[in-house]
Amino acid sequence: MAQKEPINVCVTGAAGQIAYSLLPLICRGNVFGEDQPVNLHLLDITPMMGTVNGVIMELSDCAFELVNKIVATDDPMVAFKDCDAAMLVGAMPRREGMLRKDLLEKNAGIFKVQGAALDKVAKKTVRVVVVGNPANTNALVTSEFAPSIPKSQFTALTHLDQSRARAMVAERAGVNTSQVKNVIIWGNHSSTQYPDVEHAVIVSADGARTSVKKAVGDEAWLHGDFIKAVQTRGAAVIKARKLSSAMSAAKAVADHMHVWWHGTKEGEFTSMGVMTDGSKYGINAGIVFSMPVTIKDGVISVVEGLEISDFSRDKMRATEHELQQERETALKIVQ
C-alpha cells in the first residue's frame, strides 16, 4: 500500500506545557491516524525558540515513524503555510487570581495576528481549534481576521470540560468513563458553562442505554454540585498545581481534532465551540458557543431537536450573555 501524503499540522505555543503533552499524541498517530504522516510546524515567540529546539531534539529521540518533517519558527506566516490543521495552544496563560478580562486584553492581539496569517497562507480547508483562553472569544477574533476561511473551520476547545463532566458522572454512577455518552457542554469555556446531562446516557456492555439522571439518581447533585465542580475545575487545578491544566488539556485537544478528522460514532455527539448563526436553540448569532455536534467527512453539524428544559434554558442564557460581553470587549481591543 502506498504511503499517504503527509499533512501539515501547526501547533502554537510549542515550548509550553500543553504542547509538550500534545506533540507525542500527534506523532504516535492518536490524532490523525496511525497511517497518516505529518509535517509538524511548531510556532512560539522568539525568546522561546531555544526551548522549542530542545523539544525537537526529544521528538527526534523518540524516533516517531509518522513524523516526516519538523519546522520550528517564530513567524506565523511560516508556521501556517499550507496548514491542514492548526492547534492554537499558545497564549498568555491564566494565573491564580487573574480575571477573564485580563486574559482578553493580553490575548486578543495574539489571535488577531494569527488569524491574519492563517488567512494569507493556510489552506482554506484548514481545521482550527483554539485552546488558549478565553478560547471561545479568541476563536471568534481569529476568524474575524481570516475572512477568506469559512467560519465553520474555526472551533474552540470545550472537549476538556466534556471529559471532566463524563469522568465525574462515571465516578458517581460507578461505571467506566467510556460508558458515559452524550454529555453536552453549552456555551463558554468558563465558570458560566453549562454541563448538561439531560440527554446523556450510560451504555452497558450489552448495549442497553440508561439515562444518566436515572443511573445517578440524585438530581440535586446533577443540578448543583456537579455543575459547579465542572465549571470551576480549571481554577481548582490551578490552585493545586499553581499552573493551569496541561496533560488533560493536551488529551482534550487530541480528542477534539481526532473526532473532527474521523467523525462521530452513530448515535453519539460531542461538544465543540462553534460559530453561531442564530438558528439553533435560540442562541444569538455571532459568538462562538459550545454546542452538541455530529461530524461526518469533516463537516460539523449542530445536533437539532433536543428538548431544552427551563432549567437548561436559564443556564444557557447566562453563558450566552457572558460571551456577548466578551465579544464586545475583544472587538474593541483589536479594532
Detail the residues annotated as belonging to a binding site for NAD(+).
44, 107, 131-133
Cα–Cα distance for residue pair 118/148, rounded to 1 Å: 9
Summarize the annotated binding site as residue ranges. 44, 94, 100, 107, 131-133, 164
Terminal C-alpha separation, the chain: 51
Q: Which residues does 58 contact at the CB level (< 8 Å), separation at least 6?
A: none
Torsion of CA 172, 174, 179, 183, to 10 degrees: -10
Cα–Cα distance for residue pair 111/122, rounded to 1 Å: 15
User: Look-up: residue for cell 465516578?
Assistant: 171
Report CA-CA distances (Å) from 31 to 7, 17, 149, 213, 253: 12, 18, 23, 32, 9
Residues facing residue 155 across a β-bridge = 129
DSSP class per residue in 35-103: T--EEEEEE--GGGHHHHHHHHHHHHHHT-TTEEEEEEES-HHHHTTT-SEEEE--SPPP-TT--HHHH
Q: Which amino acid, residue 269?
A: F
175 close to 215: Cβ distance less than 8 angstroms: yes
Summarize the annotated binding site for substrate as residue ranges. 94, 100, 133, 164
Let me know if 159 is a catalytic residue: no
Q: Can you read off the three cell numbers belonging to residue 75?
A: 513567524
Cα–Cα distance for residue pair 295/280, rounded to 1 Å: 17
User: Look-up: residue for cell 492548526?
Assistant: 86
Residues facing residue 73 across a β-bridge = 43
Residues facing residue 8 across a β-bridge = 39
Catalytic hit among 159, 189, 256, 258: 189
Burial class for 224, CB neighbours closer than 10 Å (0-12, 13-18, 19+): exposed
275 close to 152: Cβ distance less than 8 angstroms: yes
Residues assigned a catalytic role: 189
